[in-house]
Amino acid sequence: MGITARGVGLLVAAVVLLGAGFRFAYPELTLLGAAAGAAVGYAALVAVWRPRLTVTRRADPDRVARGEPASMTLTVRNVGRLRSANLLAEDRCGERTVPVPVLRLRPGRDTEVRYDVPTDRRGVVPVGPLRVTRRDPLGLVALARPYGATVPVWVHPRVHPLTAVPSGAGRSLDGRVDGVPHGSITFDSLREYVVGDELRRVHWRTSARVGELMVRENVDTSLPRLVVLLDNRVAAHPQRVGGVAESFESACEAAASIVTAAHRADLPVLLLLVAAEITTTDGDGDGPLGPLDRLAAAELSGDGDAVRAATTRLRQDRLGDTLIFLTGPGGRDELGHVGALRGAYPSVLVGVFGAAEPTPPGTAGLVVVDAADGAQFAAEWDGVRRW
C-alpha cells in the first residue's frame, strides 16, 4: 500500500489540527483534524478491498524468429459482484508497459486488449503479470496488486537456409540415413554358409534357388552426428553496439541455421554451450528446452576457462563425428584446444564472427569460416568442400 502526496498532506494536516485543537482547546480545529484523519482511514479501507478479476493471455504465436510479428491478447474479466471502480491497470511486456482499460468494469463483463510483442532482439520476452492499482475516490491511498502469471514469448535467432550438410564418418549403404543414433546393421551382400554362421542369417529363398545355403552379409554403419559448440563467453565477444554483442547474435543465428538444416535432413544434432547455461523448462514446464529455445535464452557468461573444460568433455565423450565451433573475435586464442579434438572428431569446422581481420589460414589445421553475420556464414558454409 502506498499513500499519495495528497494523502500525506492530509494526514499531516490531521495531526497538526488535532494537536492544535486539543492544546489550545479549539473544538473547530479538533473537528477538522478528526475529519481529515477519518478521510485517510476511509481511503485506506477502500484501497485494501481486493477486486475479483481473472486474467487470461494468449500469445500468437509464442515462438517466433527474430523480426517476425508476434502479438499478445489479454482478457480481464470481473468475476465479482461489485463494479471495479477506480481501477488503473497496466501490463508488463518486456521493458515497457501497456495500459489496460478496466475502469468501472461491470460484474460478469470482460475487456480485451491486443498489442504487439517486440521481437527486434533475440531472447525471451516476459509478458505479465497484470498490475492493477486501486485508488480511493479522493486519491489519498493507492494499492497495486499483480494478477495473472507471466507468459514468455520466445524470440529465436534468424534461420538462414543451408543447402550443404556434413555427411559424417559413415553413410548407410542403402542410400538413406538410418534412425539409430549409434549405428545400424545394413544388408551388404550374400555369401555361402560356413560353419559357425547363425541360422537366422540364412536367406532361404536364395538358398532354395541356388541349391546351397546362402547367408546375408551385413555391415555396421554409423550415422553422421553433428555437435554444435557455441562460445558464449564474454571474452569471446568483446565488442558491443548499443550494449549488444552482435558477434554473439550472429553466432546464435549460425547455430540455429545448422540445427534446423540437420533436423530437416533427419540428422542427429547436439547443441552445447561453452559456458554454463541456466537450466530451465519449456513454457508449460513439461520438459527441457529445445535447441532453438535454448538459443533464445542463451546469454554471455564470464567463465574464461570454460573452453578447456568443454573440449575435455568432448574428447572423453566423443558425442559425434562432426564438430562445429562458433565463436567471436576473442575466441580465436582458444582454437588450439579445438584443434586438439581432430583425433576424436574426423570433421571440425570453426566459425568466427565479427573479426576485423581474417583468421590466418591453417590455424591449428582447422577449416575456418570468417563471417560478418549469420547470412554470410550460410553462404560460406555452402561453399565448404573439405570436411
Give the DSSP letter string of 12-70. HHHHHHHHHHHHHT-HHHHHHHHHHHHHHHHHHHHHHPPP-EEEEEEEESSEEETTS--
Host H or E run for residue 235: none
What does CATH list as the number for 53-154?
A: 2.60.40.10
Provide the Cα torsion 247, 249, 253, 255; round to 10°. Answer: 80
List, in sequence order, every residue forming a beta bridge with 96; answer none if it has no partner: 93
Taking 80 as the threshold, does the pLDDT of residue 174 lie above it? no
Host H or E run for residue 10: helix 5-24
List, in sequence order, every residue forming a beta bridge with 67; answer none if it has no partner: none
- Collect contacts of 182-188 with beta carbons under 8 A, ≥24 apart: 182/222, 182/223, 183/220, 183/221, 183/222, 183/223, 184/220, 184/221, 184/223, 185/218, 185/219, 185/220, 186/218, 186/219, 186/220, 186/221, 187/216, 187/217, 187/218, 188/217, 188/218, 188/219
Mean of pLDDT values over 204-230:
82
pLDDT cut 70: percent of the chain above it: 88
Cβ-contact 338, 270 below 8 angstroms: no
The conformational region for residue 137 under phi > 0 = left, psi -120 to 50 = alpha, else beta, is alpha
- What are the DSSP calls for 241-274, one per residue? BTTB-HHHHHHHHHHHHHHHHHHHTT--EEEEES
Q: How many Cβ atoms sit within 10 Å of the Cβ of residue 247?
A: 28
Q: Give residue 287's pLDDT.
A: 59
312's grid cell: 575435455
User: Which has the minimum average pLDDT: 23-37, 98-112, 255-269?
Assistant: 98-112
**Percentage helix, strand, coil, to 5, in the chain?**
30, 30, 40
Mean of pLDDT values over 69-76:
96
What residues have CB less than 8 Å from 253, skipping those under 6 apart? 66, 157, 158, 159, 160, 373, 374, 375, 377
Mean of pLDDT values over 350-355:
95
Say which residue, 159 or 168, is predicted with more confidence.
Answer: 159
Using alpha carbons, select from 65, 194, 74, 161 the residue that is nearest to residue 121: 65
Strand residues in 183-321 grouped as ranges (E): 184-192, 214-221, 226-230, 269-273
Mean of pLDDT values over 27-52:
90
Instruction: Report, in angstroms and rounded to the nearest whole number, the Rg of the chain calculated over CA atoms.
Output: 33
pLDDT in tens, 356-367: 898 887 777 788
**Phi, psi at 249, each rounded to 5°:** -60, -40
Say which residue, 385 or 125, is predicted with more confidence.
Answer: 125
Tell which CATH architecture fits domain 226-382: 3-Layer(aba) Sandwich (3.40)
Mean of pLDDT values over 132-141:
88
pTM as predicted: 0.79
User: Which has the minimum average pLDDT: 82-91, 154-163, 310-319, 351-360?
Assistant: 82-91
Mean of pLDDT values over 199-215:
90
pLDDT in tens, 250-308: 999 999 999 999 999 888 899 999 998 765 556 555 557 899 999 999 999 877 788 99
